[in-house]
Structure 1
Amino acid sequence: MKKITFILALMILFVSCKNETNQPENAENETAKDSLAPVNDDMLESAIIYEANIRQYSPEGTFDAFTKDIPQLKELGVKVIWLMPMYPISMKKRKATGDKSIEDIEDPEERKMYLGSYYAISDYNAVNPDFGTMEDFDELVRTAHDNDMYVILDWVANHTGWDHAWIEEHPEYYTKNDKGEITDPINDATGEPWGWTDVADLNFDNEGLREAMKKDMLFWIEEHDIDGYRADAAHSVPTDFWEDIAAKLREVKPVFMLAEAESPKELFHNAFEMGYNWEGHHIMNSIAQGDKTAKDWDDYMEKVDSTFQEDDYLMNFVTNHDENSWAGTVEERMGDASEAMLAMSYTLPGMPLIYSGQEYDMNKRLKFFVKDTIPKKKGKVYPLLEKLGKLKTSSVALHGGKSAASYNDVATSADEKVLAFKREKNGETLYYIANMTAEPVEFSAEIEGDFMDYMNDSEMKLAKDQQMSFKGWEYRILINK
């Protein structure tokens, strides 16, 4: 009997030890799964956002091809990945070329070329099969989270493609013309169509639409653990809708909301963390092209200061999918001013954007409705983004969110030509100084002290009223020692 009791005790001890051995592994896995902290304001202060164009990112144009490169984005300091629309695209009235739709193309082989606009969505709750499966998408999100990055989806609330089930099942969700026909989006200012013939305009006066849209947005948060949304044409959708859905999303988890809008300012305060710096971007283009001056930028920043609430902030960029495909490459728009403008976008209040291919010196307009591919060879821009990324993610003086470092214009003896500003927070100070012209300039600035010239890895001492000489488009980022 004692022998049997002893054997039983050994068995119980073995099972217990085995369970204890497994327990830490399970606990560790659970911890790893939940290791990414929820979206929070502190993280966003130093964040960099990357716009991922899945179709054009790789020759394959798949989720998997992008997922394998996510760890590399850490080299650039990326914290938020914004996926351009990755939903199925409508076939009906699909854009082809010029004013033609796919119905105008007779050759069936040629028709296969035209993949349509990412923004003509046929199903909000599915993924584009050209990109992969839902499991592939989930792996992308997991990989981003494992690498301490958040994923936001491009949400197109203003319109759907003409194949969306709502067209037949809920025609009351759509805007109608005088004949009672569903119409493509109309420019409220002119009463004329925008020309977006491949999409059908949604009517947010309909309560059923609002509830259906909210349900679809909650789906990706609840079922696929994404971290927020970039709202396409946010200004075209009633502000109260965005306020309602933002509140509902945040009941599930903290989220990051980006509005493709600069106004109304209430959008940012009640629904969105960040908006687009469209006006600032256009001024950058104009300065690079010689149509505006450094003084115009100073005037613009005064306008921003008086227009937005204190905790609003903007996304700064030298390119994005719209600019690249329709307005031109960085080289086309900014030329020799490109590097100064890129450095400026990192040192301004707000969050800098990297668009797919920008890191590889992409100097072509990506085709919008057919397959194309970004370059994948590192050149001049990649190490520049690495260096700027390290500064943005480590310097308190470049905090750009709800508790942003201060921004103050610095007077120079050549304010029309030279842009100089100071960022400061918690005792850290940073200056950006740039010749915003193509010609050499001599000037003095109200800056004095011992500094590190960050981009050149050298020391720089400035005395009061000291004369400086900058070549065309030369810039410096100075850090207090």
Structure 2
Amino acid sequence: MHKRIIGFLALLFFSLQTIAQSAGKLYDHPSWSHQSNIYEVNLRQYSATGKIKDFQKHLTRLRQMGVDVLWFMPITPIGIEGRKMSPSELGSYYAVRNYKAVNEEFGTLADWKAMVKKAQSMGFKVITDWVANHSAQDNHWVRTNPEFYVKDSIGKVVSPFDWTDVYKLNYQNRRLRDSMIDAMRFWVKETGIDGFRCDVAEEVPEDFWRECIAELKKIKNVYMLAEAESPKLHHVGFDATYGWSLMGMMSDVYKGSKTVAQFDSLLQHNIHRFPEDAHRMFFTSNHDENSWNGTEFEKYGDAYKTFAVFTQTMYQSIPLIYNGQEVPNKKRLKFFVKDPIEWKEFKMAPFYKTLLQLRKKNPALSADASYERLKTSHDESVFSFIREKNGRKLLVVLNLSAKPAVFSIQDPRVNGKPYNVFLYTNESVSDKQNISLEPWGYIVYDYK
């Protein structure tokens, strides 16, 4: 009887643990990550040379702006076979010719190691893009290990989607799995990076990611970002996933094709769909969006700052800034050819500095701080919410419409004399008074 009771209790404990993992907290993120932000680096377009050494000259500026995590688009050599091969064609970053080398376009492995060491000494974390779903057609594995690739019914190697410069990798092959983990381990052990952004992560089997991430975390507590919007990926070890659906919704709200109620409905849906301790990467731009779908000015017009404030302050957010947004860069950067950012002015840098430094200082903007939307007298256009943690409170008020809004926030928690972070002054706020906001206006109040 005693053994049966012990067995029952063990089973009960395991079941409760499983339930807790599916509905609540999964694991510990790196301690530095909860109030961090991510800055995406497109080395090819960052300078006229595209060299790692030239990017390194920007580190002081970026640190002063408040950037925490540097995410580099793939730094590995690019395949030649399958390119369009126009005279200026440099190929896709995401066609990996060698998983353990640095693209000569950017510099050397020694240059990369030196930059990582310098950046980390200044307080940055460094992650790099990783392409596990496919490789370049002229990756040496195609020749040495053809079994590493998916083949069709007549034995021809398969290209995923319409990406004719790459071949799909075969994760039913044990040696391929081991080789991919070994390559990722190389970058963590040999160059000291702090994690990976994993390209088209949902196209790679979940059980591979579970095994891979567990192996990497034996070296250090790496930060893992999945280019996907799938709750399941958090359950196999990813810290963060993309907020693709929210990005699309923000654009629709600006265009008037979606309402604030629909905006809120999507937020609530995602909050309940994702694990409690998930990190979500929210953004108004990234390399894909900028090159193929338009700049934030094309997509959000006069609301580009409003939605940037939202991505920086939302529940679970680890917000992204794409290089050049601090200028601001108003052109679509070309993807396959040189098209450098013009670093003439930094008109948006103070705006981002205000938000990034606020995130760093205020635990109410930690990804795991509480979130609640507050009722206003104008909910059809005004979106207001409160974040709280460790006795700190932050109020965010957004006018998500092209018309001025005059309204009250009907919650006594707003009462006080908080600090307006963009006007640099304390203001009296009450649930009995009206607030006025211009079209697409925003306020962030810090209750210190």
Same fold (TM over 0.5): yes
- The CA distance in 2 between the partners of 1:120 and 1:78, in whole Å, is 28
Q: CA deviation at 1:293?
A: 2.4
Report the equivalent of 2:277.
311
Equivalent of 2:373, from 392, 401, 409?
A: 409
Gaps spanning 5+ residues in structure 2: where? Answer: 1-27
Q: Deviations over 1:40-89 (max 9, x none)?
A: 63311111111111111001111001112112211121111111001111
* Secondary structure, aligned partner of 1:45: coil
Q: CA deviation at 1:119?
A: 0.3
Aligned residues: 417
* Secondary structure, aligned partner of 1:326: helix
Counterpart residue identity of residue 314, structure 1 = R
Confirm or deny that 1:420 pairs with 2:387. Answer: no
| CA-based RMSD | 1.3
Q: CA deviation at 1:271?
A: 1.4
Confirm or deny that 1:257 pairs with 2:224. Answer: yes
Q: Deviations over 1:359-399 (max 9, x none)?
A: 11000000000011012123431110111111111011101
Conservation of the 8 A alpha-carbon contact between 2:29 and 2:239:
no
Percent of pairs with identical residues: 40
Report the equivalent of 2:253.
287
Equivalent of 2:155, from 180, 185, 190?
A: 180
Conservation of the 8 A alpha-carbon contact between 1:269 and 1:311:
no
Counterpart residue identity of residue 154, structure 1 = D
Q: Deviations over 1:188-209 (max 9, x none)?
A: xxxxxx2111111111111121
Alignment map for 1:445-464 (pairs within 5 Å): 445-446=409-410, 447-464=414-431
Report the equivalent of 1:138.
113
> Which shifted more, 453-462 or 114-123?
453-462
Confirm or deny that 1:384 pairs with 2:359. Answer: no
Q: CA deviation at 1:449?
A: 2.6
Report the equivalent of 2:398.
434
Counterpart residue identity of residue 76, structure 1 = M
Conservation of the 8 A alpha-carbon contact between 1:435 and 1:475:
yes
Alignment map for 1:72-151 (pairs within 5 Å): 72-94=61-83, 101-102=84-85, 111-151=86-126
Conservation of the 8 A alpha-carbon contact between 1:269 and 1:312:
no
Report the equivalent of 1:195.
162
Report the equivalent of 2:17.
none
- The CA distance in 2 between the partners of 1:468 and 1:388, in whole Å, is 22
Structure number, greater radius of gyration = 1
- The CA distance in 2 between the partners of 1:360 and 1:380, in whole Å, is 6
Conservation of the 8 A alpha-carbon contact between 1:453 and 1:478:
yes
- The CA distance in 2 between the partners of 1:417 and 1:117, in whole Å, is 42
Q: Deviations over 1:438-471 (max 9, x none)?
A: 1112222124332221111122222224222211
- The CA distance in 1 between the partners of 2:66 and 2:392, in whole Å, is 20
Conservation of the 8 A alpha-carbon contact between 1:88 and 1:128:
yes
Counterpart residue identity of residue 156, structure 2 = E
Confirm or deny that 1:62 pairs with 2:37. Answer: no
Conservation of the 8 A alpha-carbon contact between 1:295 and 1:419:
no
The TM-score normalised by the length of structure 2 is 0.91
* Secondary structure, aligned partner of 1:375: coil
The TM-score normalised by the length of structure 1 is 0.85
Report the equivalent of 2:267.
301
Report the equivalent of 1:339.
305
* Secondary structure, aligned partner of 2:257: coil
Q: Deviations over 1:9-49 (max 9, x none)?
A: xxxxxxxxxxxxxxxxxxxxxxxxxxxxxx96331111111
Confirm or deny that 1:235 pairs with 2:199. Answer: no
Q: CA deviation at 1:141?
A: 0.6
Conservation of the 8 A alpha-carbon contact between 2:376 and 2:382:
yes
- The CA distance in 2 between the partners of 1:225 and 1:41, in whole Å, is 15
Gaps spanning 5+ residues in structure 1: where? Answer: 1-38, 95-100, 103-110, 186-193
Conservation of the 8 A alpha-carbon contact between 2:207 and 2:236:
no
* Secondary structure, aligned partner of 1:252: coil
Conservation of the 8 A alpha-carbon contact between 2:152 and 2:158:
yes
Counterpart residue identity of residue 295, structure 1 = A
Q: CA deviation at 1:180?
A: 1.0
Report the equivalent of 1:26.
none
* Secondary structure, aligned partner of 1:461: coil
Counterpart residue identity of residue 354, structure 1 = I
Conservation of the 8 A alpha-carbon contact between 1:51 and 1:354:
yes
Q: CA deviation at 1:146?
A: 1.1
Q: Deviations over 1:100-120 (max 9, x none)?
A: x22xxxxxxxx4410000001
Confirm or deny that 1:321 pairs with 2:292. Answer: no
Confirm or deny that 1:374 pairs with 2:374. Answer: no
Which 4+ stretches in 1 moved above 4 angstroms? none
